[in-house]
Amino acid sequence: MKYLTLFIGMTLFIPGQIKLVNPSFEGEPQDATVPTGWMPCESGTTPDILPGPWGVYQEAADGDTFLGLITRADGTFESIGQRLTQPLKQNECYSFSLDLARSSTYTGYNHPLKLRVWGSITRCQKAELLYESPLIQHEDWETYPFSFATKFQYHYIILEAYAPNNQAVKGNILLDNCSKISLCKRA
């Protein structure tokens, strides 16, 4: 029995992998709600757990629900973050992926956006840009894998809706199915 317990414990922790809490943004569909395990990181951040609210009825890429982040005509935008279960180490290469889409029916917030992923030392501080997606114009889910190396050790990750060139537009980006953050494979 003790060997079974040891084996189960070993499968829950895999060195070099950082598992996010609620990586598919599961929760009761509703507007202006931060999913469990995440925190708002920008003033006025009121993300939406979808489908349902704001006229968005796409199927989730993984699980039952997904996240919608917007930018507004006044130049404000939404971002969420999470404290990592173990830090991203300085000068290490990591790989990560998530599924992205947009909605053309997001009640007026229909401009395509980009996603920015930040590393942070403290809660919601954008210390280092780790990834910027291309402009997400497609409505079907697509997986975006990427690798990054960190300049410093980071304890937080931030996901941010971003309008190219900081345009003040009413746009949306949909997020789902975040992978574990893994150390890059060595050749």
pLDDT in tens, 55-96: 999 999 999 999 999 999 999 999 999 999 999 999 999 999
Rg of the Cα atoms in the chain: 17
pLDDT in tens, 9-44: 433 445 679 999 999 999 999 999 999 999 999 999
Q: How far apart are CA 6 and CA 9, in angstroms?
A: 5
For 149, the token pair is: 């190396």
Residue partners of 45: CB distance under 8 A and separation at least 6: 34, 78, 79, 80
Domain ranges of the chain: 36-183
Indicate the CATH number for domain 36-183: 2.60.120.260
Prediction pTM value: 0.90
Q: How far apart are CA 171 and CA 112, in angstroms?
A: 6
